[in-house]
């Protein structure tokens, strides 16, 4: 039976359900499930370089106690996320200039096509760990519109 999580944006009272891709990206899906199990609150921004993405940067030092911080291997990886992809990137401490100290996780919620994972330090790949149903993409677009107009806010990640 598929597992589901949701990104909740309380500022506008919306919840975006996603289906974990346990078979294709088991480690990445487990990371998201672990975060959701703690009802993690994270800052969400609109991406700068990657296109139609809500970005949730997660330095390991900011993760809730008890969240699985095991390095995430490449699985179901892409550099070109599609509309509805929820990706997880993991960067080892010191592997990239300009990030906070320690390991770094990032969740990307892609609400439209045209995404590309080209960062100022080069191309990366991220694992497609969850999918947004096509019928729910309008919720993701509403969230993105709000973040673009009103600025960064909090996401709560919860298990469904």
The per-residue pLDDT for range 43-59, each reduced to its tens digit, is 999 999 999 999 999 99
Task: Determine the pLDDT at residue 96.
Answer: 82
pLDDT of residue 120: 86
Distance CA(51)–CA(66), nearest Å, equals 32
- List the CATH number of the domain containing 19: 2.40.100.20
Q: Which domain holds residue 33?
A: 4-159
160 Cβ contact list (under 8 Å, min separation 6): 4, 5, 6, 17
Q: How many domains does the chain have?
A: 1
Q: Which residues of the chain have pLDDT under 70?
A: none
Q: How far are the Cα atoms of 96, 120, 153 from residue 123, in angstroms, in the given order?
A: 12, 8, 27
pLDDT at 115: 97
So what's the pLDDT on residue 158? 98
- pLDDT value for 101: 85
- Strand, helix or coil at 143? helix
Using CA atoms, how far apart are residues 139 and 41, in angstroms rounded to an integer? 19
């Amino acid at each position: 039976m598929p597992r589901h999580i949701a990104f909740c944006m309380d500022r506008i009272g919306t919840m975006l359900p996603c289906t974990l891709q346990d078979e294709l990206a088991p480690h990445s899906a487990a990371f998201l499930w672990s975060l959701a199990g703690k009802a993690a609150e994270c800052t969400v921004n609109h991406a700068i370089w990657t296109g139609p993405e809500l970005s949730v940067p997660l330095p390991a030092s900011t993760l809730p106690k008890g969240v699985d911080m095991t390095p995430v291997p490449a699985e179901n990886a892409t550099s070109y996320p599609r509309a509805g992809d929820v990706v997880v990137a993991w960067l080892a401490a010191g592997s990239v200039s300009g990030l906070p100290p320690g390991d770094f996780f990032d969740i990307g919620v892609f609400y439209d096509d045209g995404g590309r994972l080209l960062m100022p330090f080069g191309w990366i790949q991220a694992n497609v760990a969850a999918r947004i149903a096509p019928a729910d993409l309008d919720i993701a677009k509403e969230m993105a519109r709000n973040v673009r107009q009103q600025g960064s806010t909090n996401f709560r990640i919860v298990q469904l």
